[in-house]
Amino acid sequence: MTVYPNLQPTDPSGQTRKDFQTDQDVRWCPGCGDYSILANVQRTLPKLGIPRENVVFISGIGCSSRFPYYMGTYGMHSIHGRAPAIATGVKTLNPELSVWVITGDGDALSIGGNHLIHALRRNVDLNILLFNNKIYGLTKGQYSPTSEVGKRTKSTPYGSIDHPFNPVSVALGADASFVARVLDVDAKLMPVVLERAAAHGGASFVEILQNCSIFNDGAWADISDRKTKHATQLELQHGLPLLFDKGTKGIGLDNRMHPRVVDVEAEGLDKVLVHDETNPAMAYLLSRLTYPEFPTPMGVFLSIPRPTYDAELEAQMRHAGRKATGDGMADMQALLESGRTWEVR
């Protein structure tokens, strides 16, 4: 017997941005980078061809984690750091669903670090968007695990002495199969990255560099400034040379595998590395490039096919299911009567 509803799904071709909005007032501070991310996600979802009832947004705690309230899908604003675990339960119970995790630098990398790395390692088919503003916003301005050393905050009046995490490096270290980075205000690249993250089978990890206009304003100004971003950002494109600054510079290696900046005119294009999304070693090397020594890479670092946890689980279920008769009550009765039994008369 099935108790699960079997209803006509929404036709996804007719869905628009509006279908993914709610009537709730958006309660982020004016100027917050989250607005731009929300708009991009709402614009992207109708393009995915998924009925909105099959989309689930799970978040933890923090400013970013209010996100599900503003999405016209199923959602849960859960508890601090645990969104990947809850999302794993949603996805593995019903693999038909498109499950998104919304998290922040404190939520994902501090209190929830364990869940993040294990969701990535297992390759559960989740889309994890980590909003990195390098600060705790909701608790009003303490340093986060991505804050730079020396950062002065309410809880580090003498400057932070914590070495920060690089989220992309963490994700790669956890054997993520899809890792990308975008800037909150980059309306050109973000939809591309979001669509690719959604299309990727397995855990997709996207670090979104996000500005907190109240507690860490300008955290990414160096690389987001329109006037200089051609030199401060490195746009990653699979199969193309790692060029920046209008093609005048590129990323190469010295003979000890240290990355270095190549002057294209002086040294030639063949000294510039070609981006390969399927190479985890290159992805890690690129993740270590940071401004100001290097431009900050943006786009897809890594995208490799790897069996997903949820699909593997379904395969095991199907395989085991061959033992079943299809009549659950009868199979249950047989299990109850299995092993060594005896009749008392």
> In terms of CB distance, is 51 or 250 closer to another protein?
51
Closest distance of CB 52 from another protein, Å: 6
What is the rounded CA–CA span in Å between residue 83 and residue 38? 18
> In terms of CB distance, is 3 or 266 closer to another protein?
3
Closest distance of CB 53 from another protein, Å: 5
| Distance, CA of 182 to chain centre | 11
> In terms of CB distance, is 54 or 156 closer to another protein?
54
Residue by residue, DSSP assigns 273-335 as PBP-TT-HHHHHHHHT--TTTSPEEEEEEEE-----HHHHHHHHHHHHHTT--S-HHHHHHHH
Closest distance of CB 318 from another protein, Å: 9
Which amino acid, residue 332?
M
Q: Quote the longest CA-to-CA distance of the chain.
A: 97
Closest distance of CB 170 from another protein, Å: 15
For 24, which DSSP code? S
Peptide bond into 84 cis (omega under 30): no
> In terms of CB distance, is 5 or 157 closer to another protein?
5
In sequence order, the 6+-apart residues with CB closer than 8 A to the CB of 209 are 132, 181, 182, 183, 184, 219, 220, 223, 224
Tokens 């991310």 locate to 37
> In terms of CB distance, is 174 or 189 closer to another protein?
174
Closest distance of CB 132 from another protein, Å: 22
> In terms of CB distance, is 57 or 244 closer to another protein?
57
Closest distance of CB 67 from another protein, Å: 10
Closest distance of CB 184 from another protein, Å: 22
Q: How far is CA 321 from CA 60, 96, 312, 324, 331, in A?
A: 35, 19, 14, 5, 11
> In terms of CB distance, is 5 or 30 closer to another protein?
5
The C-alpha angle with vertex 109 and arms to 284 and 82, in degrees rounded to 5, equals: 125
Pairing verdict, β 204-209 and 178-183 = parallel
Q: How far is CA 40 from CA 25, 61, 189, in A?
A: 18, 21, 10
Element (DSSP H or E) covering residue 105: helix 105-106
> In terms of CB distance, is 47 or 77 closer to another protein?
77
Closest distance of CB 175 from another protein, Å: 14
Half-sphere exposure at residue 165, Cβ-oriented, CA atoms within 13 angstroms: 26
